[in-house]
Amino acid sequence: MTSPDPHAAAILSRVEEIVEPVENLTALRQHRLELVAARVWREQGRCVPHELRVAERRSAIVALTAPEVLRRVRAAYDGSLVLMKGPEVAACYPHPSDRAFCDLDFLAGDPVEAYRALVAAGFVEVGDPALYEDVHHLRPLVWPDLPLFIELHKEVNLPDWLAPPPTPELLELTRPSATGVDGLRAPVPAAHAVLLAAHGWAHEPLRRLMDVIDVAVVLDDEERDLAAELARRWNLERLWRITVAAADALLRGSRSGLALRTWARHLPTVRERTVLETHLTRWAGPVCGLPNTRLRALGDGTVIFTGAARPRNGEGWVDAIRRTRLAMLDAFHPQSQHDLIKESRSGR
Amino acid sequence: MSLRLRTEDLQWREIDREIVALDGRDASYLTVNGSGALLWRMLATSASRDELVRALVETYEVEAATAEADTDAFLRTLSERGLLGP
């Protein structure tokens, strides 16, 4: 593993300040900051809850396992493979154990050939094949008894309203992996940071603080211009700008942008999103993230916005209106609390 | 005679005074806590049986005979699992 650089250390120092007063374990877990909290609290002599100690142990086992599995992958297949996310990001953290992960994501030049080679070497397929027919990676593999999934990606995972960057270009934009495993390559920091930002948006724009920290830790200051250029070239410029602005505001004291003042207000205080913020985010994602085709963005956003009130999953209009009314009543409640209320009402 | 943990294919880390280790040879995990963790840490850099016994006596304020028995049992377990180096 590489030694921590002052840039990453400064960022984590700010993260520690943010995390230190947060006592809501659910929120910490949602933001993937529970391991940072456990470390900080222990250093301060505070009690670390049992469930965090369990999480630490689980994370340590996975982290110990990763180099072993990576070496086996590299030994089994010598074609074009690029390690993204998980352990590659963790290696950039001053305390790699702060950054948990549960799988190894590779971008492969020829994922099918790589897959065959890994299976021939002893990796075994897991999961229902039907789940992986039309997704961006092949069916996961594991080495027997080692708790890490391997996902071979045909292309990187982006929001479905954006086209992924060309895989051949990504396979070129690489450097030796920060994990230190011989022969393994990873994206250059600028490309990795942009991919991490875009991948985060694929789940939910500015979903959790750890997504933003990942981008900030990976992105060297001297690579900012290159990252902006790559984001422009890949039509990810707007989501990139919003993510970097959020990272700078949260971790470097810059002025908060519109996102942090509206639909991403859950990040600075490490809390759950409210029902209203969740709905705003579903609308704001395409509107804010699409490249300059604003008309289409507004169209998509409108569909999503109005779609929230339409019947879904076979429900009738009466149920849809009831659901919408409940969402409006709970607008300022945490999303998980609202989901519980919904569940308990539907169970009646 | 100096004893130490195997260095090949054995990864471990310490969390809250507990050792979590992965034996890469058979992909097995083990956790060691309390007095075992103390002995493990000493064996990571090498120690004699007498030094291990003395550490237990000083840290846990137990009788020498108890410490000797515990140390021998721990070393036997490590040896049986192939975790001690040559």
Residue A77 and residue A24 share a domain: yes
Residue A129 and residue A47 share a domain: yes
Could you tell me if residue A80 is inside a domain? yes
pLDDT at A35: 96
Q: Considering Cα of A53, then A55, then A60, then A65, what sign does the dihedral take?
A: positive
> Which residues on neighbouring strands pair with residue B48, listed in sequence order?
B2
Q: CB distance A68–B24 less than 8 Å?
A: yes
pLDDT, tens digit, for every residue of A271-318?
988 877 777 777 776 667 666 654 454 555 454 445 555 666 677 777
**DSSP secondary structure code for residue B81 in this structure:** T
Residue A319 and residue A232 share a domain: no
Quote the ipTM score: 0.74
Which of A56, A143, A146 minimises the CB distance to B15? A56
Chain B residue at shortest CA distance from A144? B27
Q: CB distance A57–B27 less than 8 Å?
A: no
Examine the pLDDT at A321 and tell me if it is beyond 80: no
Which of B20, B24, B27 minimises the CB distance to A60? B20
Q: How far apart are CA B69 and CA B39, in angstroms?
A: 13
Residue A49 and residue A104 share a domain: yes
- Enumerate the residues of chain B whose CB falls inside 8 A of the CB of residue A180: none
- Count of CB pairs separated by less than 8 Å, A with B: 37
Q: How far apart are CA A295 and CA A299, in angstroms?
A: 6
Residue A326 has which token pair? 């409940």
Q: B63 or A325: whose pLDDT is higher? A: B63
Residue A260 and residue A293 share a domain: no
pLDDT at A327: 67
pLDDT at A191: 97
Mapping DSSP onto H, E and C, the string for A32-101 reads CCHHHHHHHHHHCCCCCCHHHHHHHHHHHHHHHHHHHHHHHHHHHCCCCEEEECHHHHHCCCCCHHHCCC
Task: Quote the domain boundaries for residue B62.
Answer: 7-80
Could you tell me if residue B22 is inside a domain? yes
Average pLDDT along chain A: 86
Examine the pLDDT at B78 and tell me if it is beyond 70: yes
Examine the pLDDT at A343 and tell me if it is beyond 60: yes
Residue A320 and residue A208 share a domain: no
Q: How far apart are CA A327 and CA A345, in angstroms?
A: 13
pLDDT, tens digit, for every residue of B38-64?
999 999 999 999 999 999 999 999 999
Residue A204 and residue A302 share a domain: no
Residue A117 and residue A75 share a domain: yes
pLDDT at A181: 92
**What whole-number percentage of chain A has pLDDT above 70?**
84
pLDDT, tens digit, for every residue of A125-174?
998 888 877 777 889 999 988 889 999 998 898 887 788 999 999 999 99
Examine the pLDDT at A348 and tell me if it is beyond 70: no
**What whole-number percentage of chain A has pLDDT above 90?**
58
Examine the pLDDT at A114 and tell me if it is beyond 60: yes
Residue A333 and residue A211 share a domain: no
- Enumerate the residues of chain A whose CB falls inside 8 A of the CB of residue B29: 61, 64
pLDDT at A182: 92
For chain B, positions 8-67, list CB contacts with chain A under 8 A.
Answer: 11-13, 15-16, 18, 20-22, 24, 27-29, 31
pLDDT at B86: 82
pLDDT at A1: 44
Residue A333 and residue A224 share a domain: no
| Domains identified in chain A, total number | 2
Chain B residue at shortest CA distance from A56? B15
Task: Quote the domain boundaries for residue A153.
Answer: 6-273
Q: CB distance B15–A67 less than 8 Å?
A: no
When pLDDT is cut at 50, 70 and 90, the band that residue A209 belongs to is very high
- Enumerate the residues of chain A whose CB falls inside 8 A of the CB of residue B13: 60, 63-64, 97
- Enumerate the residues of chain A whose CB falls inside 8 A of the CB of residue B31: 57
Could you tell me if residue A28 is inside a domain? yes
Could you tell me if residue A64 is inside a domain? yes
Q: CB distance B27–A68 less than 8 Å?
A: yes
Could you tell me if residue B67 is inside a domain? yes
Determine the average pLDDT of the residues in A71-95: 95
A248 close to A7: Cβ distance less than 8 angstroms: no
Could you tell me if residue B86 is inside a domain? no
Could you tell me if residue A1 is inside a domain? no
Q: Considering Cα of A310, then A316, then A321, then A326, what sign does the dihedral take?
A: negative
Chain B residue at shortest CA distance from A41? B16
User: Please, where are the H alpha helices in A106-263?
Assistant: 111-121, 167-172, 189-203, 209-218, 224-233, 237-252, 258-261
When pLDDT is cut at 50, 70 and 90, the band that residue B69 belongs to is very high
| Domains identified in chain B, total number | 1
Residue A319 and residue A255 share a domain: no
- Look at residues A242, A273, A304 and tell me which one is the last residue of a structural domain: A273
Residue A171 and residue A22 share a domain: yes
- Enumerate the residues of chain B whose CB falls inside 8 A of the CB of residue A146: 27
